[in-house]
């Protein structure tokens, strides 16, 4: 059977070389197997007949049975033809802008018709433009699938005559040729436990559903299968790594760790920090490489967990490194960690693109001799010149900004790879984390350090600006500092720069010297200029910092208590949340003020309402996932993992949880999948591991 699915698509009756080429280019359909897995985007339900008094203003198509009782032409310049249609429960209008002559000649009055199309309501009357019409007598004779699938398409396909009707037709041909003989891939007991319909029935009913119920069961079966195989792959990868990739067992908890914990902790650790440290210590104690993702909201105290994990490496005679995506962030980690580790007499250095050549040489030598314990840096750490004596722990911050390739470069610097801790302040919804990082173990810091007051967030319109400015002056009078952030959108950099400069000038007028002093930071400045402005602000020499999103990650100024976000509707949710996390780092009550115009899209309203309602990064990430979809959230380099064909991470999270649970259970009982009942599964799994796209092999 599988061989037939390998047949090139142009050999299918009704396709041929020209159409085959188009399908290949536009939809990536090369063979029979790809076409089977071109799943419909939606279905038009023609199982139901509506009455006119049940119609609602919705975007879905409806069908109604009734009669046309009169017909007239309306309007002077742009004439339209309007017919009155009734079914005994009410009346509606049918409207045509084109083809009027033909319709007038062929339309039969007072004869039962089935009409089909989209309904809109205007002044309380429903109307349908250019309806599909069929005499009731003919409609009852014709044979068609009651649920009509609508397939993904492109402009080019439609232009070249490959309409939805054509795709439907070649799909029927495919099922005739293959006789729907698809091999079952899931073990029998799983099909029975979950009451899944067989593979054959699922594929048939997803393309030619006879009813809503059969369609729902077919979709559930195929979604479960897709997510189940992805989870099998991720969990297997994790298991293999734990068995195969050796790690250094850190079995000692020595002076560095104990001394810091007992005598130099700046504050009591939260329950969440303690739990996470325990998970990390447990992992690093094993002779297998740790690969853990540490998620924690802005300000939840990941830095101290990172330092204490590094101290464990030092106690066991190893070096540690921390890699950050930007110089600002690397500098901040360097300052923060050096401050915390001051009493411990540890050698910590920083290596970035702007480190002088003379310093570099000293750092390189100290790393190789082992006298340098901890190195913090940017991509500069990946250079071949950077060699360690014995790297035991690599911490990577905001990892979605580094590709997989870059991370593995760090590993290759050692015979035995270091333990890896990946940190992120971008909360990732559980469903997404399970699919993207299903091969990593996940730790979450889900409580803020004591004494931190939740940030108060408000949404103000531009018309309230005077009130907002008065509030800022009151806060400055209390000795607080303010951020005012402008959006930066690459395409319109000139315009954004103008907005920022206009804003800066008007703020300088409203907050004049000598009483106030305003800093500015933007992308066009030299790094040294940026740093000196940041430093002045951090030292309290300026009251307001006007900036583009450069400050999204980075600066830690406990005295800054207000974040004003200009044109907040132009920011994404996670960006708004990251910006808000720049304040609220001291003991004072902090505020985030989102300024917008009155014109807002419904998505923008949802984003702003979410920000006002909650400070919980995970809840915000869930809303963001619903608004943007998984590919966008992780940026392009990660979205390849999620080239899902039928499942959807937002809508199908329950199926994902179920699939993961069963995948874990199966691998616990039979990790090599060697039991006889797992033979088909094992075969499909091996095929899948050879290919990137899981649907190529599942059939």
pLDDT digit string, tens, across residues 370-383? 999 999 999 899 99
**How crowded is the C-beta side of 94, counted as CA atoms within 13 Å?**
28
Tell me the C-alpha distance between 690 and 152, whole Å. Answer: 27
492-531 pLDDT tens trace: 667 777 788 889 999 999 999 999 999 998 878 887 888 7
Q: Looking at residue 2, what is its pLDDT?
A: 60
Which of 211 and 322 is assigned the larger pLDDT?
Answer: 322
For domain 255-445, give the fold: Rossmann fold (3.40.50)
- Indicate the pTM of the whole model: 0.68
With 50 as the cut, is the pLDDT of residue 699 above it? no
Q: What are phi and psi of 70, to 5 degrees?
A: -160, 170
Given this model, what pLDDT does residue 191 score? 97
Ranges of H-type helices in 142-250:
155-159, 164-178, 188-193, 199-207, 212-244
Contact predicate 182/200, CB 8 Å: yes
User: Alpha-carbon distance 479 to 483, whole Å?
Assistant: 14
Rounded-to-integer distance, Cα 373 and Cα 230, Å: 39
pLDDT tens digits for range 434-470 = 776 777 788 888 887 777 788 999 999 999 999 999 9
Q: How far lies 269's CA from each of 191, 308, 454, in Å?
A: 47, 11, 18
- Distance in angstroms (rounded) separating the CA atoms of residues 666 and 287: 25
Cβ atoms 111, 67 nearer than 8 A: yes
The DSSP-derived string for 586-613 is SSS--EEEEEE-S---HHHHHHHHHHHH
* 205 closest CA partner among 170, 174, 180, 228: 180
Please give the CATH architecture assigned to the domain spanning 47-143.
Answer: Beta Barrel (2.40)
Rounded distance, CA 394 to CA 385, Å?
Answer: 17
Confidence of residue 634 (pLDDT cuts 50, 70, 90): very low
Kindly state the tokens that stand for 465: 């600006």
Mean pLDDT taken over the chain: 87
Angle of the 527-538 helix axis to the 327-341 helix axis, nearest 10:
40
The Cα–Cα gap between 38 and 336 comes to 52
pLDDT computed for residue 490 by the predictor: 54
Average pLDDT over residues 328-344: 89
- For residue 591 the two structure tokens come to 């505020």
Q: What is the structure's pLDDT at 651?
A: 77
Q: What is the pLDDT of residue 401?
A: 58
On the question of pLDDT at 694 being above 90, the answer is no
Q: What are residue 320's phi and psi, to 5 degrees?
A: -135, 155
C-alpha torsion angle, residues 421, 422, 425, 429 (rounded to 10): -110
Mean pLDDT of 623-652: 65
Strand 291-296 to strand 61-74: parallel, antiparallel, or no bridges (unpaired)? unpaired
User: Percent of the chain having pLDDT more than 70?
Assistant: 92
Which residue intervals of 188-211 are DSSP H helices?
188-193, 199-207
Overall average pLDDT of the 477-503 stretch: 82
Q: What pLDDT digit, counting tens, does each position of 565-580 carry?
A: 999 999 988 889 988 9
Q: What angle do CA 209, 215, 219 make, to 5 degrees?
A: 130
Model confidence at 637, pLDDT cuts 50, 70, 90, reads very low
Give me the residue label for tokens 């490489």.
289
303 near 333, Cβ under 8 Å? yes
Residue 520 CA from chain centroid, whole number: 32
Asked if residue 640 has pLDDT above 70, the reply is no
Sign for the pseudo-dihedral over CA of 16, 17, 20, 22: negative
Which of 59-63, 118-122, 284-288 is predicted least confidently? 59-63
So what's the pLDDT on residue 692?
Answer: 56
Structure token digits, residue 432: 């997404």
- Which carries the bigger pLDDT value, residue 470 or residue 295? 470
Q: How far is CA 378 from CA 386, 424, 525, 602, in A?
A: 12, 15, 20, 39
Query: What pLDDT score was predicted for residue 642?
Result: 56
The pLDDT value given to residue 363: 96
Instruction: Please report which confidence band the pLDDT of residue 641 belongs to, taking 50, 70 and 90 as the band edges.
Output: very low
Confidence of residue 639 (pLDDT cuts 50, 70, 90): very low
pLDDT at 120: 86
3-state helix, strand, coil in the chain (%, to 5): 50, 20, 35
Statement: residue 142 has pLDDT above 70: no
In this prediction, residues 112-130 reach a mean pLDDT of 89
- Return d(Cα 693, Cα 86) in angstroms, integer: 51
pLDDT of residue 592: 97
| The Cα angle at residue 343 between residues 339 and 348, in degrees rounded to 5 | 55
Q: What's the confidence (pLDDT) of residue 489?
A: 55
Residue of 444 and 643 predicted with greater confidence: 444
Contact 454, 615 (CB under 8 A): yes
- pLDDT confidence bin for 491, thresholds 50/70/90: low
Residue 99's pLDDT band (cuts 50, 70, 90): confident
pLDDT at 427: 76
Token match 């923008």: residue? 604
Q: Over range 477-502, report the average pLDDT.
A: 81
Distance CA 406, CA 637 (A): 12
- Distance CA(310)–CA(338), nearest Å, equals 13
Strand partners, 94: 83, 128
B/e letters for 4-30, b = 16+ CB within 10 Å, e = fewer, are ebeeebbebeebeeebbebbbebbebb
**3 state SS of 295:** strand
Whether residue 474 is predicted with pLDDT greater than 90 in this model: the reply is: yes
First to last CA, the chain: 9
pLDDT at 554 over 80: no
Whether residue 544 has pLDDT greater than 60:
yes
For the ranges 278-282, 497-501, 623-627, 629-633, which has the lowest average pLDDT? 629-633
For every residue of 459-516, which 3-state class applies, written as one string? EEEHHHHHHHHHHHHHHHHCCCEEEEECCCCHHHHHHHHHHHHHHHHHHHHHCCCCCC
- pLDDT band, residue 630 (cuts 50/70/90): low
Measured distance CA(618)–CA(599) in Å, rounded: 28
Q: What is Dmax (Cα atoms) for the chain?
A: 97
Higher per-residue pLDDT: 673 or 578? 673
Indicate the pLDDT class of residue 550, thresholds 50, 70 and 90: low
Summarize pLDDT for 26-58 with one digit per residue, the tens: 999 999 999 999 999 888 878 888 999 988 776
Q: Please determine, looking at this structure, whether the domain spanning 456-614 carries the CATH number 3.40.50.300.
A: yes
pLDDT of residue 93: 95
Distance CA 69, CA 108 (A): 9
pLDDT classification of 189: cutoffs 50, 70, 90: very high
């Amino acid at each position: 059977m599988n061989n037939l699915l390998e047949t090139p698509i142009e050999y299918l009756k009704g396709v041929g070389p020209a159409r085959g080429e188009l399908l290949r280019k536009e939809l990536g359909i090369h063979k029979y197997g790809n076409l089977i897995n071109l799943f419909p985007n939606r279905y038009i339900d023609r199982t139901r007949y509506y009455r006119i008094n049940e119609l609602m203003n919705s975007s879905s198509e409806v069908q109604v049975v009734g009669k046309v009782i009169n017909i007239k032409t309306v309007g002077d310049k742009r004439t339209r033809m309007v017919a009155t249609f009734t079914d005994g429960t009410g009346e509606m209008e049918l409207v045509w802008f084109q083809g009027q002559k033909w319709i007038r000649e062929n339309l039969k009055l007072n004869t039962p018709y089935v009409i089909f199309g989209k309904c809109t309501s205007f002044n309380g009357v429903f109307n349908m433009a250019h309806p599909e019409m069929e005499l009731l007598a003919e409609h009852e004779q014709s044979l068609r699938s009651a649920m009509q699938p609508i397939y993904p398409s492109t402009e080019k396909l439609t232009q070249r005559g490959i309409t939805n009707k054509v795709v439907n037709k070649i799909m029927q041909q495919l099922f005739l040729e293959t006789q729907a003989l698809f091999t079952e891939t899931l073990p029998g007991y799983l099909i029975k436990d979950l009451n899944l319909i067989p593979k054959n029935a699922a594929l048939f009913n997803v393309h030619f559903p006879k009813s809503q119920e059969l369609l729902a069961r077919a979709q559930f079966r195929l979604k479960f299968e897709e997510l189940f195989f992805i989870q099998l792959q991720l969990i297997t990868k994790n298991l293999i790594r734990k068995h195969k990739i050796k790690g250094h067992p850190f079995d000692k908890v020595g002076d560095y760790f104990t001394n810091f914990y007992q005598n130099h902790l700046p504050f009591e650790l939260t329950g969440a920090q303690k739990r996470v440290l325990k998970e990390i210590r447990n992992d690093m104690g094993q002779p297998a490489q740790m690969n853990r993702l540490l998620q924690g909201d802005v300000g939840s105290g990941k830095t101290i967990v990172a330092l204490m994990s590094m101290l464990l490496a030092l106690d066991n005679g190893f070096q540690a490194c921390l890699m950050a995506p930007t110089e600002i962030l690397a500098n901040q980690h360097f300052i923060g960690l050096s401050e915390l580790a001051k009493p411990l007499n540890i050698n910590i250095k920083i290596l970035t693109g702007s480190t002088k050549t003379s310093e570099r040489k000293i750092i390189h030598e100290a790393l190789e001799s082992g006298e340098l314990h901890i190195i913090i840096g940017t991509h500069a750490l990946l250079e071949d010149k950077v060699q360690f004596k014995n790297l035991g722990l690599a911490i990577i911050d905001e990892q979605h900004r580094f590709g997989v390739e870059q991370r593995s470069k760090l590993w290759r610097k050692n015979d035995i790879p270091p333990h890896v801790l990946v940190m992120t302040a971008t909360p990732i919804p559980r469903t997404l984390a399970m699919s993207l990082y299903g091969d990593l173990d996940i730790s979450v810091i889900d409580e803020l350090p004591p004494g931190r007051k939740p940030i108060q967030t408000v949404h103000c319109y531009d018309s309230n600006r005077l009130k907002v400015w008065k509030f800022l002056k009151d806060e400055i009078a209390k000795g607080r500092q303010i951020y005012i952030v402008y959006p930066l959108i690459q395409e319109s950099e000139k315009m954004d720069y103008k907005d920022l400069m206009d804003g800066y000038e008007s703020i300088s007028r409203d907050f004049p010297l000598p009483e106030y002093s305003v800093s500015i930071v933007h992308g066009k400045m030299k790094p040294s200029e940026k740093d000196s402005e940041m430093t002045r602000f951090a030292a309290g020499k300026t009251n307001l910092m006007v900036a583009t999103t450069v400050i999204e990650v980075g600066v830690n100024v406990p005295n800054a208590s207000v974040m004003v976000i200009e044109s907040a509707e132009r920011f994404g949710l996670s960006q708004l949340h990251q910006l808000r996390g720049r304040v609220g780092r001291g003991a004072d009550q902090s505020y985030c003020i989102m300024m917008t115009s009155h014109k807002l899209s419904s998505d923008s309203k949802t984003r702003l309402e979410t920000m006002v309602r909650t400070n919980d990064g995970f809840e915000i990430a869930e809303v963001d996932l619903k608004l943007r979809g998984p590919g966008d959230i992780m940026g392009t380099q990660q979205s390849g993992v999620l080239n899902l064909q039928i499942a959807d991470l937002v809508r199908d999270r329950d199926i994902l949880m179920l699939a993961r649970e069963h995948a874990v259970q199966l691998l616990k009982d039979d990790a090599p999948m060697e039991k006889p009942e797992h033979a088909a599964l094992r075969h499909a799994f091996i095929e899948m591991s050879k290919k990137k796209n899981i649907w190529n092999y599942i059939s």
